[in-house]
Structure 1
Amino acid sequence: MTTLPTRASLGVLLLALTAGCGGDTPGAYDARADSSVYDHAAADDSFDLDFRHQFEEQATLSDGRKVRLWFARSGDRLLEQHYSPDEQAWTEPQVVFVSDESHPCQGIDIVEENGIVAAIADFGLWCHEGEPPMQSLAAVSTGDLTEWDVDVVEGFDGWTSLTMDDEQVRWTGHGRSLSWTSDGGFGEGESPAG
């Protein structure tokens, strides 16, 4: 079991778990089956151009691809792009989630390992002043990263840690937990003791 700490509950954590090409591992990336269209440059849109490092992050996956998450300039969308070293180009930005809040919380962290990409993002008007988010989301994508599975919790202080055990991703924080598996998707986990 691997436990990955997050920064604060005011952020985005992207857990990209990437296995080698092909294979029988659920979520494993297979370049031959990649339906992504790589014909764009990296997008230059960001929620705050002066402090963009607080609202976007990029990671290089172990298979050589790159993945990038950021909050749109409008503040109400979490966007994603991924890069192919073979094509030397990015995909067109895609919307992972649209919030009814137009204020994202600061901070994005990216970690990768074994074919699954999982993210945590928070939206809320006063996050930058230490208030809890109004919406906390968990998002997961596998393989070619073209489709995302999203779970949203309203009025929640956010996820504070992320644990991965085999093919299960588990988010916990503030007396709640959520899990995701490649064969079952999202499911409520047991509430942690204490």
Structure 2
Amino acid sequence: MRMYGERLRALAGAVLVVGVAVACGGQGDGGGSATATATASAKGTATGASKGGDAAPTASAPRFDEEIGLPDGRRVGMAYVEGRGLVERHRDADTRVWSPPRVVYATATDRCQSLTLTAFDATVAVIADWGDYCYDGEPPMESIAAVGTGDLSRWDTKLTRSFDGWSKVAPVGGSGDLVFTRGSTEWLTRLRWSGAEGFAEVEEIRR
């Protein structure tokens, strides 16, 4: 009887020790890690919402293929949208609110890879291209030069078909005019834009 009693007490002690170990392990490992992860996630969200000095969380910024800032604090973004063409939005410098999407050029043709936005003070120039399999390296079939000014509610566009696309845009002296160009060994292709008259005709100039 004495041996049976000693075994019973030893067994009870072992069960008690195992129970304590399991309880400590459950609280220290599983519960602690879950709380730390949730806290880190909450801190990250709060930091992201207040970035830039905003007092309250704001809606996430739209995604663009290209985005540029203007000297007055505004931002302009553009994206190739399948089935629609080239879509533009701009953000007010004071309210930091993005405008509704606006189609600058409508086409269902496949997009190319590059999209160029260049700011000249408050004027924004755009170069964009489309063509079948163009994203995979085929030459473009539709090339757009576009210019937006003022409140960016209106965009001038010029379509050139079966053209390799404009390679750059630059200001013309201090006139406020812009010139889009593409050069080859024999020819310089040029397109001029002015605020008063918009786009002129494409010029081919032999070198």
Shorter-normalised TM-score: what interval? Answer: 0.5 to 0.7
Deviations 1:109-155 (A, max 9, x none): 33322222111110011212322101001111110001111110111
2:182 maps to: 173
Unaligned runs of 5+ in 1: 1-39, 47-55
Q: TM-score, normalization: structure 2?
A: 0.63
**Residues 66, 78 of structure 2: 8 Å contact kept:** yes
More strand by share: 1
More helix by share: 2
Query: Could you tell me how far apart the structure 2 residues matched to 1:113 and 1:170 are?
Result: 12
- Amino acid in structure 1 at the alignment position of 2:128: A
Query: Could you tell me how far apart the structure 2 residues matched to 1:100 and 1:58 are?
Result: 22
Residues 92-171 of structure 1 mapped to structure 2, 5 A cutoff: 92-101=100-109, 103-165=110-172, 166=174, 167-171=176-180
**Residues 124, 133 of structure 1: 8 Å contact kept:** yes
2:94 maps to: 86
SS in 2 for 1:128: helix
Query: Could you tell me how far apart the structure 2 residues matched to 1:109 and 1:138 are?
Result: 10
- How many correspondences in the alignment? 144
**Residues 72, 93 of structure 2: 8 Å contact kept:** no
Shift of 1:186: 0.5
Q: Which has the higher contact order (CA 8 A, sep 6+)?
A: 1
Query: Could you tell me how far apart the structure 2 residues matched to 1:76 and 1:92 are?
Result: 15
Shift of 1:163: 2.1
**Residues 41, 89 of structure 1: 8 Å contact kept:** no
**Residues 78, 98 of structure 1: 8 Å contact kept:** yes
Query: Could you tell me how far apart the structure 2 residues matched to 1:42 and 1:192 are?
Result: 43
Shift of 1:189: 5.0
Shift of 1:76: 4.0
**Residues 125, 169 of structure 2: 8 Å contact kept:** no
Query: Could you tell me how far apart the structure 2 residues matched to 1:190 and 1:94 are?
Result: 30
SS in 2 for 1:163: strand
**Residues 69, 78 of structure 1: 8 Å contact kept:** yes
Unaligned runs of 5+ in 2: 1-58
Shift of 1:79: 0.5
SS in 1 for 2:117: strand
**Residues 162, 172 of structure 1: 8 Å contact kept:** yes
Residues 60-71 of structure 1 mapped to structure 2, 5 A cutoff: 60-71=69-80
**Residues 112, 134 of structure 2: 8 Å contact kept:** yes
Q: TM-score, normalization: structure 1?
A: 0.67
Query: Could you tell me how far apart the structure 1 residues matched to 2:102 and 2:60 are?
Result: 13
2:196 maps to: 183
**Percent of aligned positions with the same letter in both sequences?**
36
2:32 maps to: none
**Residues 75, 104 of structure 1: 8 Å contact kept:** no
- Amino acid in structure 1 at the alignment position of 2:92: S
Change (3 A) 1:189 1:71: closer
